[in-house]
Amino acid sequence: MRQRMKATRALAAAALFVAASACAGGRGADPPRSPTTRTASPAPTTATGAPQAASSFTIVSGGDILLHMSVNQAARAGSGYDYTQLLAGIRPWIEGADLALCALEVPIVPPGEKPSNYPAFGSPPQIADSLKALGWDGCALATNHSMDRGFPGVVSTVDNFDRVGLGRHGTARTGEESTRIQYYKVRSGGRDVVVAHLSATTLTNGIPLPKGAEWSWNVVGSLGRRSVGDLVEDARRARRQGADIVVVSMHWGTEYVSQPTAEQTAVGDQLAKSGQIDLVFGNHSHVPEPVAKLAGGPGGRGMWVVWSMGNTISGQTVQNHGYRVMAGLMTTATVDVPAKGPARVSNLEWTAIAQDERTDRVFQLSRLTSGERPASMTLSPAEIASRANATYPVMGADGSKERVTPPTPRAQLIGRELK
């Protein structure tokens, strides 16, 4: 059912946003922009004239997709690559979401080039096909590894996302494209809710912004040419263009640290106090960090943040980094859509996942701790317990409870536009 719904979504998006999709493919001189700015509405659009009942939908995200060569080898399928088998254990969370936003940490290699490993990653183009097949709707692309294969890697990544029909934000092929925001339109309970997605990084791994194409990488803070305030202005512009919900994916913080750093909390507070942002999905630490609700947010209702979701999948090892890098999170945000008034994010729940380092397959951790033993898993009870001990004390320290059942589709994604 979910895959058929995905196909319907793709057709709807093409019909609604064909003009935007056509202009997104260019990479030469910046094309003229067509007037697309809309006046922001105080509430989600009503799709029909009939009275509407309250409804809700979900937005799901996950940790870094960090494709070391060991993961690429595990995904080998004939002469190509298929990552869906490795991530089948978390597929229900992706397919069950009404809007699913991934975090691809590494670029896709330019045509004719081979995949590469740390410290300068480059993934095969088939990762885009696999992300689409798994049910992701779009992805955050601004990370400290975005420029590992230079500007050609940025172009290849965006080209491949456009090829398979995935939304994206955080890197760009032209200066004009870099000013665009990714929007998704979700029909929930008869009302159309526009979700804006922004992606930014505070980190660059010491790689300079490409000369003459500094706009190609959305770096904010001291290492970039843009400030966190500029990111807030992007969110404000999204509101003016009709966004009801603004989601920001932030690549920030310090690796292998299980609590947010001073930088993360400062940036998070600034985003929350702006009143423009509903939800922040954090990444970079490669280990899970807690969920919080910060003061501020739209209408003073608060802003939800997960400081880091760890790894969705990686080639990092227990020997080098401990069991924490073998654990990650799927997070599920609930968006309430009242009969009247603005939509709002009412909750952000976490679900622990675990990677089997011998097969690079990923599983829902709570199902393993409860005794399930999938045939494709090689982890011992002690290895499962080590992953749990590295995750649950961090995530449950504030008394929050894990979500253990995947969401089920409640709404319909009817459009996707980069404008």
| Torsion angle in degrees (nearest 10) through CA of 6, 10, 11, 15 | 150
Residue 138 belongs to a domain with what CATH number?
3.60.21
Residue 188, CA distances (Å) to 182, 185, 280, 338, 396 in order: 19, 10, 22, 10, 31
Beta strands in 263-326 (DSSP E): 279-283, 291-294, 303-306, 311-313
pLDDT per residue rounded down to tens, the chain (419 residues): 444 444 444 444 444 443 333 333 333 333 333 333 333 344 566 655 565 789 999 999 999 999 999 999 999 999 999 999 999 999 999 999 999 999 999 999 999 999 999 999 999 999 999 999 999 999 999 999 999 999 999 999 999 999 999 999 999 999 999 999 999 999 999 999 999 999 999 999 999 999 999 999 999 999 999 999 999 999 999 999 999 999 999 999 999 999 999 999 999 999 999 999 999 999 999 999 999 999 999 999 999 999 999 999 999 999 999 999 999 999 999 999 999 999 999 999 999 999 999 999 999 999 999 999 999 999 999 999 999 999 999 999 998 899 999 999 999 999 999 99
DSSP for residue 222: T
The answer as to whether 68 is a domain residue is yes
The answer as to whether 38 is a domain residue is no
The answer as to whether 84 is a domain residue is yes
The answer as to whether 44 is a domain residue is no
Give the global pTM.
Answer: 0.90
How long a stretch of residues is the chain? 419
Burial class (CB in 10 A: 0-12, 13-18, 19+), 197: buried
The answer as to whether 34 is a domain residue is no
> How far apart are the C-alpha atoms of 117 and 123, rounded to whole Å?
9
The residue range of the domain holding 231 is: 2-16+60-418
Contact (CB, 8 A) for 228 and 270:
yes
Count of domains observed in the chain? 1
